[in-house]
Structure 1
Amino acid sequence: MSTTITVTSAAELNQALSQATGGETILLAAGNYGKLSLKNAQYASNVTLKSADPNALASFSEVYLTNSSNITFDEIKFDYTFSQGDANHTTKFLISSSNNITIDNSVFDGDFASGTGTNADGTGFGKGLVIRDSSSIDVINTEFHSWWKALGASRSTDINFSGNNIHTIRSDGISLGEVQNVLIENNYIHDFGGAAGSGDHRDMIQIQRSNGTGSSDITIRNNILDMGTGDYTQGIWAGQDKASYSDAADWNYNIVIENNVLYNAHANGIAVHMTNGLTIDSNTLITVPSQQTGGVATPKIIVGGSSKNVTVEQNVTPSVVGYTGQSDWIVQDNAIIQNRDPSLPDHYDFMFTYIATAAIDGYNQYGVIPGSKVDLLDAGSSLVDLYPLDYDSWVGSSSTTVVNPGGSGTNNTGTTSPDSGTSTPTAPDSGTSTPTAPD
């Protein structure tokens, strides 16, 4: 039998959690509940922490879940404030060795650090949410903004990142390492801002090899990746760093990248290496005009030539790099386009109608002209059929307007552990009506 409990202070929240067994919904009055540390909180069924008023979100400054299960955060604000001495990789929101955790309809609000070290221009700091050694984790319908890196999972299985709005990020939007069974779907990832001189390697979605070990069974589909008015980034990247071709454990297996739309200005639009079982199908890769980006590169589909059992078909792209006739590759029905010579029939002007461009609208939308090569090949993402489209409404969570988001337009291409204490969070303040942007 479910039970609903309303709490108005950190002490009341701690008491409710200590007495919960499973099935409870704990409604939090607006305010700051400080640091929440749950260790060995193994509930028999789901326990939900939810803001009592969706227009006045309860917030936490730190959350650490360790060896815990069956917990949902709904309509919660995870609010980081930079402190002098914090590292880029500062982590205040961590799920570790846990399972059946859901974060829904929430906001991860990062912070900027002006005049400090490599981040002197005031761009994002810290990691939004880190997931380690965990399983069955859902992060859905949630906004991430103003971070160094937004959302990451390592050594974990059965991960679902869907319907999230990720923007104003300095380095990576979503990063994965040594993971299995991951779904990344219906996310709006956009408007990154680099930090001059930082050496950041900006990726909207990255599959890493922290120890050389690969990942498997990853599906990336129906996402909109738009540079917008921000700095260019790599789009979807899976490299071959720290890997040995002779070690089967170092390969990635069974990666599907389908029906995504990408507007950017880096050669690595979709770039995947050392993968056995790779499908890149019905994606649209569009170059953002050079007058906006400073004349950098055109996003392409790039596949490492050693990859095995590869299918690349019905994409809209300027080129497919890596195919040299390998017998276990299928490369067909891709609409090859270009935006350099307007007199040639494969130029953008013969393929697209420009519904929105970032220089004017803050986002990009290029619709397909009926009868064009793209139309006749039925190539590219079906998401473009929805244009004109309000991306925020499509993703289900609006983009917070961020003050002084930084951004450099440059060519820049360990995590702090929480303390072991379980001190009582500070009592909440009176709250605010909506999540606010950092100073």
Structure 2
Amino acid sequence: MNEPTITHALDRKETTTLNLGPTHPSTHGVFQNVLEMDGERIISGVSTIGYIHRAFEKIAEHRPYYQITPLTDRMNYCSSPINNMGWHMTVEKLLGVQTPKRVDYMRVIVMELARISDHLVCNGILGVDTGAYSGFLYLMEQREHIYEIYEEICGARLTTNIGRIGGFERDFNDIAFAKIKKFIKNYVPVLKEFEVLFTRSRIFMDRTVGVAAVDAQTALDYSWTGPILRACGVDYDVRANEPYSSYEDFDFDVPVGETGDVYDRYMVRNEEMYQSIRIIEQALEKIEKEPKGIFHADVPDIYLPPKEEVYNNMEALIYHFKIVMGEIDSPKTEVYHCVEGGNGELGFYLVNDGGRTPYRLHFRRPSFINYQMYAPMSSGMLLSDAIINLSSLNVIAGELDA
């Protein structure tokens, strides 16, 4: 008769469940990962979103086109002007509006400032998550200067609601141009100091090199875009591959990594900030050659007239009424337009039935697409590495739950 096998309690392998979020500070937003842990190592995980539940798209389907701009602010709020410009260009594509070159260059300046603002937050926070706080302070001071530029242009800072369909609500004044020039002059030395603190730091490299490495094919299979795709070695940037807002007029490089790890993502974003400065410098030169005072397209049936004209001119009052009430003639069609957002391809798919509001509207939010790979990536990682990985993906909660 065989004796029963006795398993000692110490021989049994037990796992624990860890709720990482939805309010944990290391998640950088209101979302959750339910992790199965073997000590400090992650066995598996399930990602959960939906805690914000803003329903951007459904709200937008009940608003006239020009009233949708403030909704786009709330997606990636670290670079909201890019969201604004992307939406304006989508409606312009629907209505066949051609903006003047000066407007295009003004938009490029604002979008590249927003890209810098987005990247410096990501890389600064990445430093905080690895235990280094000083670099974050170096860069956050510069973000404040970008917000001052926004404030001079449109009066807002974080959720900018900047520009209009057809252009801008007002021209850049001399103070705005002076602040832009001062920023691009002062930012490069600060960024170099930031790199001195991190790029060759042994502690930072030990925490990031080889962590969460992704090969190019896997990244493409998961539809990654933006800096994290380029870090994997894929040379794809919407600005270069499908130029918009006259990006074809600019000379800039698209930084590409090799291993797709956290360190490469950091390096790609750093280099992209240098390239953004380079683009802004070119845009400032090009604006000097364009006629002054032009800040919107000549489309009176789409672009809201100035208030003083509305109060004193019957034709302007009629146009104002038609635009506000959504009585604009628009084709029954569907369009898709995308821009290079801070986290990748930010797309707007619009189905129009000729009414005063979109019939259907879908935002392609890069964080939502990029984040789907987080749980599979985390399997086998230490918890501390999973936090660094999440930080390097730059997941913005507003882009997760639209």
TM-score w.r.t. length of structure 1: 0.20
Larger Cα-atom Rg:
2
Higher RCO by CA contacts (8 Å cutoff, separation 6 or greater): 2
Structure richer in helix, relative to its length: 2
Structure richer in strand, relative to its length: 1
